[in-house]
Structure 1
Amino acid sequence: MLVRVVYDEFQTGKVHDHLLDTLIMQGKILGFFRSDGYVRVGHDPVRGSGGTYAGHDRRRILKAA
Protein backbone atom coordinates (compact mmCIF):
# COMPACT_ATOMS: atom_id res chain seq x y z
CA MET A 1 0.00 0.00 0.00
CA LEU A 2 1.27 3.49 -0.80
CA VAL A 3 1.37 6.14 1.93
CA ARG A 4 1.51 9.87 1.22
CA VAL A 5 4.47 11.50 3.02
CA VAL A 6 5.95 14.96 3.50
CA TYR A 7 9.73 14.98 3.15
CA ASP A 8 12.06 17.17 5.21
CA GLU A 9 12.10 19.85 2.49
CA PHE A 10 8.27 20.04 2.47
CA GLN A 11 7.98 18.09 -0.77
CA THR A 12 5.32 15.41 -0.91
CA GLY A 13 5.45 11.93 -2.35
CA LYS A 14 4.19 8.39 -1.94
CA VAL A 15 6.13 5.46 -0.50
CA HIS A 16 5.33 1.82 0.21
CA ASP A 17 4.07 1.34 3.75
CA HIS A 18 6.90 -1.08 4.64
CA LEU A 19 9.41 1.78 4.12
CA LEU A 20 7.65 4.19 6.49
CA ASP A 21 9.42 3.07 9.69
CA THR A 22 12.83 3.37 8.04
CA LEU A 23 12.12 6.87 6.74
CA ILE A 24 10.93 7.95 10.20
CA MET A 25 14.04 6.54 11.93
CA GLN A 26 16.32 8.20 9.36
CA GLY A 27 14.60 11.56 9.87
CA LYS A 28 13.80 11.87 6.18
CA ILE A 29 10.12 12.72 6.56
CA LEU A 30 8.27 15.37 8.57
CA GLY A 31 4.97 13.54 8.50
CA PHE A 32 2.59 11.25 6.67
CA PHE A 33 -1.11 10.84 6.04
CA ARG A 34 -3.21 8.05 7.47
CA SER A 35 -6.95 7.43 7.47
CA ASP A 36 -7.63 9.72 10.44
CA GLY A 37 -5.52 12.63 9.16
CA TYR A 38 -1.99 14.01 9.02
CA VAL A 39 0.62 12.73 11.47
CA ARG A 40 3.59 14.93 12.42
CA VAL A 41 6.66 12.84 13.23
CA GLY A 42 7.94 13.79 16.68
CA HIS A 43 4.65 15.41 17.71
CA ASP A 44 1.91 12.86 17.16
CA PRO A 45 1.91 9.21 18.29
CA VAL A 46 3.14 6.77 15.67
CA ARG A 47 3.32 2.98 15.63
CA GLY A 48 6.07 1.58 17.83
CA SER A 49 6.60 4.74 19.87
CA GLY A 50 3.97 4.03 22.51
CA GLY A 51 4.48 3.44 26.19
CA THR A 52 4.93 0.22 28.09
CA TYR A 53 2.21 -2.37 28.61
CA ALA A 54 2.21 -4.38 31.82
CA GLY A 55 -0.92 -6.45 31.15
CA HIS A 56 -1.34 -10.02 29.98
CA ASP A 57 0.47 -10.73 26.70
CA ARG A 58 -2.00 -12.57 24.47
CA ARG A 59 0.62 -13.16 21.78
CA ARG A 60 3.04 -15.07 23.98
CA ILE A 61 3.42 -18.68 22.90
CA LEU A 62 3.48 -21.02 25.86
CA LYS A 63 5.59 -24.16 25.64
CA ALA A 64 4.03 -27.45 26.63
CA ALA A 65 5.50 -29.00 29.75
Structure 2
Amino acid sequence: MMIRVIYNDQSAGMVADYQLDDLINAGKIVAFHRTDGWVSVEQGPLRGRGEAPGSYEGPERRRKNTKSCKVKIAEKQ
Protein backbone atom coordinates (compact mmCIF):
# COMPACT_ATOMS: atom_id res chain seq x y z
CA MET A 1 0.00 0.00 0.00
CA MET A 2 1.26 3.48 -0.83
CA ILE A 3 1.08 6.31 1.71
CA ARG A 4 1.06 10.04 0.96
CA VAL A 5 3.82 11.96 2.77
CA ILE A 6 5.16 15.50 3.11
CA TYR A 7 8.96 15.73 3.12
CA ASN A 8 11.05 18.22 5.12
CA ASP A 9 11.31 20.54 2.10
CA GLN A 10 7.47 20.65 1.98
CA SER A 11 7.31 18.58 -1.22
CA ALA A 12 4.72 15.80 -1.40
CA GLY A 13 5.24 12.21 -2.39
CA MET A 14 4.12 8.63 -2.05
CA VAL A 15 6.05 5.88 -0.24
CA ALA A 16 5.44 2.19 0.35
CA ASP A 17 3.96 1.44 3.76
CA TYR A 18 7.01 -0.57 4.81
CA GLN A 19 9.24 2.51 4.28
CA LEU A 20 7.26 4.83 6.54
CA ASP A 21 8.90 3.94 9.89
CA ASP A 22 12.41 4.29 8.46
CA LEU A 23 11.59 7.68 6.94
CA ILE A 24 10.08 8.92 10.22
CA ASN A 25 13.07 7.69 12.24
CA ALA A 26 15.50 9.29 9.76
CA GLY A 27 13.65 12.61 10.10
CA LYS A 28 12.95 12.81 6.36
CA ILE A 29 9.20 13.42 6.54
CA VAL A 30 7.12 15.88 8.54
CA ALA A 31 3.64 14.41 7.94
CA PHE A 32 1.82 11.45 6.43
CA HIS A 33 -1.78 10.68 5.55
CA ARG A 34 -3.93 8.14 7.38
CA THR A 35 -7.51 7.19 6.59
CA ASP A 36 -8.69 9.75 9.14
CA GLY A 37 -6.50 12.61 7.85
CA TRP A 38 -2.97 14.06 7.96
CA VAL A 39 -0.71 13.30 10.93
CA SER A 40 2.19 15.51 11.96
CA VAL A 41 5.24 13.43 12.87
CA GLU A 42 6.08 15.95 15.62
CA GLN A 43 2.60 16.16 17.17
CA GLY A 44 0.51 13.17 16.12
CA PRO A 45 0.07 9.93 18.01
CA LEU A 46 2.48 7.42 16.49
CA ARG A 47 2.96 3.77 17.32
CA GLY A 48 6.26 2.74 18.89
CA ARG A 49 7.52 6.22 19.84
CA GLY A 50 8.86 5.52 23.33
CA GLU A 51 5.64 4.66 25.11
CA ALA A 52 5.24 1.41 26.96
CA PRO A 53 4.14 -1.48 24.71
CA GLY A 54 0.38 -1.54 24.31
CA SER A 55 -0.09 1.98 25.69
CA TYR A 56 -1.60 3.46 22.52
CA GLU A 57 -5.14 4.57 23.34
CA GLY A 58 -6.27 5.89 19.95
CA PRO A 59 -8.76 4.28 17.60
CA GLU A 60 -7.93 0.96 15.98
CA ARG A 61 -7.09 1.60 12.31
CA ARG A 62 -5.59 -1.71 11.26
CA ARG A 63 -7.55 -3.64 8.68
CA LYS A 64 -9.43 -6.61 9.98
CA ASN A 65 -9.74 -9.74 7.93
CA THR A 66 -13.41 -9.99 7.16
CA LYS A 67 -13.17 -13.24 5.24
CA SER A 68 -13.41 -16.48 7.10
CA CYS A 69 -10.98 -19.21 6.25
CA LYS A 70 -12.06 -22.79 6.76
CA VAL A 71 -9.54 -25.57 6.46
CA LYS A 72 -10.63 -29.08 5.69
CA ILE A 73 -8.44 -31.82 7.05
CA ALA A 74 -8.56 -35.06 5.13
CA GLU A 75 -9.00 -38.07 7.36
CA LYS A 76 -6.65 -40.96 6.85
CA GLN A 77 -8.45 -44.11 5.84
For normalisation by structure 2, the TM-score amounts to: 0.64
Task: Detail structure 1 runs of 4+ shifted over 4 Å in the superposition.
Answer: none
**Aligned counterparts of 1:44 and 1:27: Cα–Cα separation in 2:** 14
Residue in structure 2 matched with residue 25 of structure 1 by the alignment: 25
The higher-RCO structure (CA 8 Å, 6+ apart) is 1
Q: What is the distance in 1 between the residues matched to 2:26 and 2:53?
A: 26
- Which protein is richer in strand relative to its size? 1
Q: Which structure: larger Rg?
A: 2
Structure 1: which 5+ residue stretches go unaligned?
55-65
User: What secondary structure, in the 3-state scheme, does the structure 2 residue paired with 1:39 have?
Assistant: strand
* RMSD between aligned residues: 1.6
- Percent of aligned positions with the same letter in both sequences? 44
Gap regions ≥5 residues in structure 2: 55-77
Give the number of aligned pairs. 54
